[in-house]
Amino acid sequence: MEFETRAIHEGQEPDPATGALTVPIYQTSTFVQDAVGENKGYDYSRSGNPTRTALQLCLASLEGAEHGAAFSSGLGATTTVMHLVNPGERVVCVNDVYGGVYRMFSQVYAPKGYEFDFVPDAEVAGAIDERTRLVWLETPTNPLLNLVDIKAAAEAAHAVGALVVVDNTFATPYLQRPLELGADVVVHSTTKYLGGHSDLIGGFAATNDPTVAERLYFLQKSLGAVPSPFDSWLVLRGLKTLAVRMRKHCENARAIAEFLDGHPKVERVLYPGLESHPGHELAKQQMSDFGGMISFLAESEEEAIAVCARTKIWQLAESLGGVESLIELPAQMTHASTADAPFAAPKNLIRLSVGIESADDLIADLEAALVRSAATAGT
């Protein structure tokens, strides 16, 4: 079956008890057993829940994975995956990484003896050595929209027995499937595009490696960072429209990136869909389209703050991937934890999560904010 069909039907057969078309929300903590040691496949909702099972089956299918595990947040998924390595082992991480992941790696795991090296996107494969046990990638990266060659990183990692994990939140499985490019594990914040409506927090990890999968399921149960049945149901609902939403996100982003690219108040636009982007050709190889995330550099930090404050349709908020368009200043918001790092986000960088509103309205709103901020700066 094609992607759109699997998103609606995989793991979501009509309820056998009632015929309900939509997967029920099994809002229960425990399950009555037929006898000691005999049950209908479930005993306690931390260990497993039918609504969560449906989500895991569906989303794993979309990623081309045999196994999938859902979590209570993207960082919950990240925490769980990090238990695949031990203190003293080396982790290579792309340096333009989500601020929450950098905070976790540098302030939680590094003090426990884990060794991290944060390297530029183009240098990841070359930084992998015999001591490396795990390689953590984002592509496109957050917030600079750099591209990392997944195949090259996977080849280098597998040559020394290391695992490759790709955070696929920005691209989604509709645009990019890292497991097909050689990655061992793919992770998501399902809060973003997969849920799609800014109304849940969730995470996911998928793999084709049965040994890794067995460990992830054990850790999911043992660490307990599992999503509620209702949040699992909300992600399932979001997956049904993922394909049509992503097409609109991409269409809008292309139009907005082209508008910004020619604007006199914009120093530089970071969007893989622009031919001027250094990762444009790699993006064409790895992705079926270029996504709904754009970053751009205003003329100054003050002007960037002013633009973020003056938009009307674009809402000033953290997060991304919802149907609503969001604008933010990474240096002071999502990536404040990297402010002291050598690879900190530029202070004049604005990040856009392009929604599915009218592109004309979104462009007009940005134009008004850019003009007003410029006029204010000149008074």
Among 276, 291, 296, residue whose Cα is nearest residue 352: 296
> Rounded CA gap, 332 and 323, in Å?
24
> Rounded CA gap, 45 and 347, in Å?
44
* Placement of tokens 């309205």 in the chain: 361
**Exactly one of 90, 192, 254, 265 is catalytic; which is it?**
192
Among 25, 51, 74, 315, residue whose Cα is nearest residue 201: 74
Element (H, E) at 367: helix 359-377
**Exactly one of 26, 98, 174, 271 is catalytic; which is it?**
98
**Exactly one of 167, 184, 231, 365 is catalytic; which is it?**
167
And the tokens for 365?
A: 């709103």
Amino acid at 277: H
Q: Estimate the crossing angle of helix 301-310 against helix 359-377, to 10 degrees.
A: 130
192 is catalytic: yes
Amino acid at 241: T
> Rounded CA gap, 70 and 62, in Å?
14
Instruction: Confirm if 29 and 52 have CB atoms less than 8 A apart.
Output: no
With helix as H, strand as E and coil as C, how does 244-294 read? Answer: HHHHHHHHHHHHHHHHHHCCCCEEEEECCCCCCCCCHHHHHHHCCCCCCEE
> Rounded CA gap, 225 and 73, in Å?
8
Among 87, 92, 135, 85, residue whose Cα is nearest residue 114: 87
* Placement of tokens 């390297």 in the chain: 119
Q: Under the phi-then-psi rule, with left for phi > 0, alpha for psi from -120 to 50, and beta for the rest, what region is 149?
A: beta
46 is catalytic: yes
And the tokens for 28?
A: 């229960």
Instruction: Confirm if 125 and 149 have CB atoms less than 8 A apart.
Output: yes
> Rounded CA gap, 364 and 369, in Å?
9
**Exactly one of 6, 46, 268, 347 is catalytic; which is it?**
46
**Residues belonging to the active site:** 46, 98, 167, 192
